[in-house]
Structure 1
Amino acid sequence: MKDLFDLSGKVALIMGSSSGMGKAIAHILGLNGAKVIISSNDKTACEKVLAEFQAENINAIAIPCDVSQKEQIDFLVSETEKTFGNIDILVNCVGIAIAGSFLEIDAESFEKTMQINLQSAIYLTKKVIPKMQAKKDGAIIYLSSLSSVRGNKFLGLYGISKAGLAQLARNLAVEFGPDNIRVNAISPGVIDTEFAKPMTTNPEVMAKRVALTPLRRIGKVEEVAGVTLLLASKAGGFITGQNIIIDGGTTISDGN
């Protein structure tokens, strides 16, 4: 029982890990023994996080990557394998949200959202999964969103792309389960991050949202990180194909 959350010897690549939920996830995986690859399109932020982790004796490297560029994803995977070996745990925390109503969606917004939020995850997973198959072991976790399970007036395109990640997790869980590869999605509600600032800094919006959330608060990045650790470790060894909602109960509220 004592090693249920132990990730010693595991190699964990966390995309979008220079801030917010991604950083918290990389931190908790590293604290539990994983060799961590910090990656985002912000080189300076990646290097800053790396210095913080190294000060805590976390075994980590930083490899910046713009996921809209396939050659950068190729480089990321090859450098990771060169330094740490094959990837055991893949966590995808990358995402952009372009607000607007349905009739405002144009080709540029659609292509950019799908490329960054969904297509890059598919491409990266295809690079990583054959090595997981070969050793009959692997854990893949996609950061989806509460918007993937609810209707959205102004974040509809974002919700569509994130729903694609949740469905991708289900598809891959079925296809690669016989290879002992577990694939899950996590759908956070409102979490205290820079990404959520347009909502969390609006008192009127937050008063309504909190009133409709049974726990009467927004979430913390460490609460998302904790669930990710569960899914990445032996403790979550019989969980696959799920979209785990972390929202303080927002989706089950009775609206009163």
Structure 2
Amino acid sequence: MKTNAKQRQLTVAIIGAGGGIGQAAARVLAAQGARLALGSRGEPALRELTEELAGGGADVAFRTVDVTKEEEVRAFFEWAGRTFGTLDVLVNAAGLSIPAQLAEMTEEAYDRTIDVNVKGSFLCSKHFIPHTDRERGGLVVHVGSMAAKRANSGAPLYCTAKAAVNMLAQGLALQLAERHIRVTTINPGATDTGFWGERQVPRDKFMTAADVADVIAFVAALNPRIVVHEINFESFASFRPL
């Protein structure tokens, strides 16, 4: 896997690279020789990560982007195209959850959850496509969640949003096949990141962000003739049948 990624000189755009799974994916892919265009809302975390990876010899640059605003997303991918030329892989890792009981859910929470998770995946996919090579194609990796497969009473909006991301990916895969662009959704189970905030959860049973990043890197390193539609996975310590 490592050798293949280096040989192909992958250029990867990672959205949501400021922390969690996106940040871990940047580290793993940089170690495999990929060139990285990193995007997220927060500049300090992006700048710190970029300096860390560049210090290790990676070809990496960053630009802030709000995935809910189309003009910012368009500008990000135009910048990435100018900086690196054609793009090979998009990792859509931006996401959030606002847990609440139904009586406490606000319209704003609904809009924010859908906008970041679903609209963000849509906009980033849309504006990534023009910067891929028409002959070589490309790969879109959506970071979904096992919450799309298994309802969670504490975060029904998040479950809804990630289920929508899964279906969006399936539709995009059909549309983009003639452009040789593959679409994969990875659905990790509970992962120990800042996503959980102050919630009391059994983090010792969770996967690490690096575990999930390894799955992203695995998909990115596959021969382009292989299409992986979906991968569902979780920590064995917290495993329970679907």
TM-score, scaled relative to structure 1: 0.86
Preserved CA contact (<8 Å) 2:86 2:133: no
Alignment of 1:210-221 (within 5 A): 217-221=205-209
The two structures, once aligned, show a CA RMSD in angstroms of 2.3
- Asked if 1:224 is matched to 2:190, the reply is no
Preserved CA contact (<8 Å) 2:206 2:238: no
Preserved CA contact (<8 Å) 2:17 2:26: yes
Deviation at 1:106, TM superposition (A): 3.0
The number of equivalent residue pairs is 242
SS in 1 for 2:37: strand
4+ residue runs of structure 1 moved beyond 6 angstroms? Answer: none
Which structure 1 segments of 5+ residues have no match? 211-216
Which residue does 1:168 correspond to in 2? 168
TM-score, scaled relative to structure 2: 0.90
Alignment of 1:83-94 (within 5 A): 83-94=83-94
Preserved CA contact (<8 Å) 2:146 2:232: no
What are the superposed Cα offsets for residues 154-177 of structure 1, whole Å, 9 maximum, x if unpaired?
A: 210011111111111222222222
Whichever of the two has the greater Rg, that structure is 1
Identity of aligned residues (%): 25
Letter in 2 for 1:226: D
Distance 1:197 1:230, change over 3 A: same
**Larger mean Cα displacement after TM superposition, 173-182 or 221-230:** 173-182
**C-alpha distance in structure 2 between counterparts of 1:172 and 1:130, whole Å:** 14
Deviation at 1:25, TM superposition (A): 0.3
Letter in 2 for 1:23: Q
Letter in 1 for 2:209: V
What are the superposed Cα offsets for residues 177-203 of structure 1, whole Å, 9 maximum, x if unpaired?
A: 23321111111212121113434xx2x
Which residue does 2:198 correspond to in 1? 198
**C-alpha distance in structure 2 between counterparts of 1:34 and 1:133, whole Å:** 16
Which structure 2 segments of 5+ residues have no match? none
Deviation at 1:229, TM superposition (A): 0.6
Preserved CA contact (<8 Å) 2:207 2:235: yes
**C-alpha distance in structure 2 between counterparts of 1:85 and 1:167, whole Å:** 30
Preserved CA contact (<8 Å) 2:28 2:217: yes
Preserved CA contact (<8 Å) 2:190 2:206: yes
Deviation at 1:135, TM superposition (A): 2.9
- Asked if 1:68 is matched to 2:64, the reply is no
**C-alpha distance in structure 2 between counterparts of 1:135 and 1:244, whole Å:** 30
Which residue does 1:152 correspond to in 2? 152
Deviation at 1:134, TM superposition (A): 2.1
Alignment of 1:50-129 (within 5 A): 50-129=50-129
Distance 1:34 1:249, change over 3 A: same
